[in-house]
Structure 1
Amino acid sequence: ANGDKCVVVERSDGKRWRFEKTSIEFELQCDVESLKAWLDGISDQQMPGLLTLLSGEVGDRGANLKEKEKERDSLRGEEDYDYFGLNGENCSDKDIERAYRKKSTQLHPDKGGDEAAFNAMREKYDQIKKLRGENKRKEGGGGSIKWDPNSRESMLEAHSELREQLVWITKHLTDVQRELEELQLRNTVRRTIGWEPQAEMQPSVAQ
């Protein structure tokens, strides 16, 4: 009724069992003993319903995490790309190397440049390379978890893996959201400080 996802399992006696958002929140917050008692009370016939709900939630939260990471990474690297005169969304690795070599030639201490400025430039370059490497690793993604509905052992193993993923994703989603908000604030401040209003148009004077 409230739009939250749920999975309904019909038992052999005709009664129905609902797994919904409260089941997910319980899985995230319960201790080991409570979790064991919870699983012991779920029959083999009902277990696929819980696994289906958890699997869907892992997929949804995982997709949300990727979107937040993408937005965060865009803001995280924006200043560094700007420094090299690059657009992070469409520049290639060769573009980065070319821009780095140009800056390196300008700032290298052996060529009369300032060592502190050169080191700061090198740090920005390393951050860009690290960020692009992280993004490439994320593109691989992960495979879906499968289980045998006729084997309780298989279903319990799948449950353990799904719950572990859900806990990890939920924690990192919170961390990424916090970092994203901090970056958005810093970006707003940076743009505000760096913004220079154009000279106001002077009204023409009638001759």
Structure 2
Amino acid sequence: MGKVRPTGRWVRAVTDAGTVVDSKHAKLFWAPGTHGPVYAFPKGDVRTDLLDADAVSEAAGLDDHVVVRWDAVDHWYEEEEEVFVGARDPFWRVDAIRSSRKVRVEVSGRVVAETEHPVVVFEGSLQDRYYIPPADVDFSVLTPTATRTGCPYKGFASYWSFTGGDGTEPPDLAWAYTEPMASVAAIKDHVSFYGPAVAVYVDGEQVPA
């Protein structure tokens, strides 16, 4: 049996057919071998008759509880707030903090961003990320792509590829959240960079990109 933690959050899930989950007794359930939790619900809180058979599974080792596949539902809510991508781990902290550090970002040796007003995102055990105000980013060498990714803690990100080099740079090495979650609102429209072609310098010292 995996780890289980009760949650006081009122959790609902909605499809075109109506409300398929309505639970004030949900649990956060970490299945063995997984990192993040999923919601497990008492069977009586789930309208299995409105869901496909493969959308619902037993919560292994948790009697009378089931798990509803996240993408089988159109909208999920905690209380009156819509939540995205997946259940959030209460032990995983994400802080977006404004800073006055001097940050410079180079891609293939070319400076693409330089600021003294970054927002630093400290997220669990992940590498610290520096988000640059858009006014301090050289968008003349960045081209938007169709890539989109989602994060349950930050929201949905849009991406750019670098077009100021010889074309060997990996795609999608810059991203931003145009509508971030309220808890990280400070990163709105700020741009961060990642990848082997990227070099990030903070107060003159190179840090992992």
TM over 0.5: no
Q: Which has the higher contact order (CA 8 A, sep 6+)?
A: 1
TM-score (norm 2): 0.24
Q: Larger % of strand: which?
A: 2
TM-score (norm 1): 0.24
Instruction: Give 1 or 2 for the bigger CA radius of gyration.
Output: 1
